Structure 1
Amino acid sequence: MTSETAVLGGGCFWCTEAVYLEVKGVTSVESGYTGGHVPDPSYEQVCAGETGHAEVVKLAFDPAVISFHDLLEIFFTIHDPTTLNRQGNDVGTQYRSVIYYQSPQQEATARQVVAEMANVWDAPIVTELAPAQSYYRAEDYHQDYFRQHPLQGYCAFVVAPKVAKFKKTYSNRLR
């Protein structure tokens, strides 16, 4: 099996991770931080908004099962790419909409999908496209957070509806 990597920031990584764990062809999902200037930051540092890092998910996927293009279509469905440094009540640069492309091909695909999605959203897309940068895995307690804490308030009221929307919209993409 051939594997590729995608690194995406769509607000809180708990939401993004929970969706991609359900996607057929995604072989691993890891929450982490990238895009900033502080090496190996802590969650508290990232939340303070002073590291420059975004909360992201790092995906390994099988391009024979799901393309990068299709992963990005899902990405643009599960978060609002029109709000700068914000997803709902989560505000700050750590919650920015961003695609960290791993190759020139991923950059071209990302630009294509952004152009396609411009017709879907009523406001301009503000998703940042940036080359891959140093990535830091988030603390263990952030990994698979939604599955471990489905009744926690944020999970029940923010994450669960995003997962439900994904499952309804992309039932053909479920594991």
Structure 2
Amino acid sequence: MSILKQITVLITTIFIGMIVEAKNAETATLGAGCFWCVEAVFDQLKGVESVQSGYSGGDIKNPAYKEVCTGRTGHAEVVQITFNPELITFEEILEVFWTVHDPTSLNRQGADVGTQYRSAIFYHSEKQKEVANEYIKQLHYDKVFDKPIVTEVVPFEAFYPAEDYHNDYYERNGDQPYCRMVIRPKVNKFKKQFKDKLKK
């Protein structure tokens, strides 16, 4: 087989693999406070193919970060997660979700206050809705939290990607004060608790 033919076969194999992977991929859209923090966590999970910071849940199309920060757009800061269900399930995604933020805090995560920081699951299917609601019932039953869970479970309608500078924010700005004092402790706690689920 000629080198050119070998290259062609290789490219075709990769392309077909990408199609299969994309076909099998699922999407989760979650609000859990500042998307810088949430992205930094989920991006490290085995089976997660991509994590995109953005906005969801509001009425305004293509909102800007400054608009969302006013709390008047109805949008929440979210991450849209593309994952391979053969490597990580939606239940496992939610397990991390419940762990890396406080789902009993209404419109607030730490010092970040406003409806844009609300706890929310924007479900993409009836199955995701069922899983989320059953999980919440079980958490209540097991008394995992001292206060009631206030997480919204609402249908996904639209996702608007955040401005480019928000993507991989922690990775690119790890020495900034907010990253050092807020994101890093959260990421370190996550790594310790879910070390068997991390990408190599």
The two structures have a TM-score, normalised by structure 1, of 0.99
Gaps of 5+ in 1: none
Shift of 1:56: 0.1
Contact 1:10 1:95 in 2 (8 A): yes
Shift of 1:158: 0.5
Q: 2:57 aligns with which of 35, 58, 83?
A: 35
Q: Which residues of 2 match residues 51-66 of structure 1 at below 5 A?
A: 51-66=73-88
C-alpha distance in structure 2 between counterparts of 1:79 and 1:18, whole Å: 13
Shift of 1:116: 2.4
Aligned to 1:126: 150
C-alpha distance in structure 2 between counterparts of 1:106 and 1:93, whole Å: 23
Relative contact order, CA 8 A, sep 6+: which one is greater?
A: 1
Q: Which residues of 2 match residues 10-89 of structure 1 at below 5 A?
A: 10-89=32-111
C-alpha distance in structure 2 between counterparts of 1:13 and 1:114, whole Å: 22
Q: 2:113 aligns with which of 91, 96, 106?
A: 91
- Which stretches of structure 1, 4 residues or more, deviate above 6 A after TM superposition? none
* CA deviation vs aligned residue, 1:37-81 (integer Å, no higher than 9, x gap): 111000000001110000000000000000000000100000000
Question: What amino acid does structure 1 have at the position aligned with 2:96?
Answer: I
Asked which structure has the greater CA Rg, the reply is 2
1:162 aligns with 2:153: no
Shift of 1:114: 1.3
C-alpha distance in structure 1 between counterparts of 2:34 and 2:176, whole Å: 15
Query: Taking every aligned residue pair, what percent have the same amino acid on both sides?
Result: 53
Question: What amino acid does structure 2 have at the position aligned with 1:174?
Answer: L
C-alpha distance in structure 2 between counterparts of 1:65 and 1:41, whole Å: 33
Shift of 1:90: 0.3
Give the number of equivalent residue pairs.
175
